[in-house]
């Protein structure tokens, strides 16, 4: 046995279902918020402040609801600072959304990832299986990309308010 020095955190907000049209705006919001090394979470929490080695957000969709979640680990003494920074980023997105340039970069990144996913058989089959079982049919690639491209910065702001305006849930595993 060794002493535990790290607190593992999971934060979550209620999001949209797998059939909700807002899922495209949510995907773009999530990309800017915490999906990858250029995201606001990664840049501010890890790169600028050094509060964690790894932090990311993700979206899960279900038939009746969904979730946007953040996962990270930090030193016990840094938990309050880390949560304060995350809450600040959330509040900024909720009040101001994302800019048009940021939206355009996010669209390009998601479009590229979506299309590159078709080079992997497992990703392709997962997409088809989820679409059939959860949405009752497959959305053609061109239609999916058109929905993504149609999202405006106002749509992202509305979805940020919808998701981040709901209560946040926090789960932690930390030393006593």
Query: 38 and 56 in contact (C-beta within 8 Å)?
Result: no
User: What is the pLDDT confidence band of residue 13, given thresholds at 50, 70 and 90?
Assistant: very high
Q: What is the mean pLDDT of residues 43-57?
A: 97
**Mean pLDDT computed over 17-30:** 97
Could you tell me the pLDDT band of residue 64, with boundaries at 50, 70 and 90? very high
97 contacts 153 by C-beta, under 8 angstroms? yes
Task: Count CA atoms within 13 Å of residue 72 on its CB side.
Answer: 27
Q: Considering the entire predicted model, what is its pTM?
A: 0.94
Q: How confident is the model at residue 155 (pLDDT cuts 50, 70, 90)?
A: very high
Q: Residue 119, CB half-sphere, CA atoms under 13 Å: how many? A: 5
Q: What is the pLDDT of residue 58?
A: 97
Residue 1 pLDDT more than 90?
Answer: no
Separation CA 165–CA 78 (nearest Å): 25
17 by DSSP, 3-state: which? coil
DSSP per-residue string spanning 79-100: HHHHHHHHHHHHHHHHHH---H
pLDDT at 3: 77
| Average pLDDT estimate for 143-169 | 97
33 touches 39 (CB < 8 A): yes
- pLDDT of 118 reads 84
Rounded Cα distance between 51 and 14, Å, is 25
The end-to-end CA distance of the chain, in Å, is 15
Query: Which tens digits make up the pLDDT trace of 76-131?
Result: 999 999 999 999 999 999 999 999 999 999 999 999 999 998 888 998 899 899 88
């Amino acid at each position: 046995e060794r002493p535990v020095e790290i607190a593992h955190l999971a934060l979550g907000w209620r999001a949209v279902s797998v059939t909700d049209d807002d899922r495209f705006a949510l995907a773009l919001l999530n990309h800017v918020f915490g999906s990858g090394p250029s995201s606001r979470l990664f840049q501010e929490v890890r790169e600028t402040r050094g509060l964690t080695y790894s932090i990311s957000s993700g979206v899960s969709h279900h038939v009746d609801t969904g979730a946007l979640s953040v996962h990270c680990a930090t030193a016990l003494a840094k938990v309050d600072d880390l949560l304060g920074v995350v809450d600040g980023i959330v509040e900024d997105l909720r009040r101001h959304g994302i800019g048009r340039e940021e939206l355009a970069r996010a669209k390009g990144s998601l479009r590229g990832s979506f299309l590159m996913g078709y080079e992997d058989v497992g990703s392709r089959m997962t997409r088809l299986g989820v679409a059939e079982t959860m949405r009752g049919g497959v959305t053609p690639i061109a239609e999916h990309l058109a929905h993504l491209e149609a999202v405006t910065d106002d749509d992202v702001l509305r979805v940020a308010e919808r998701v981040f305006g709901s209560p946040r849930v926090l789960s932690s595993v930390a030393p006593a």
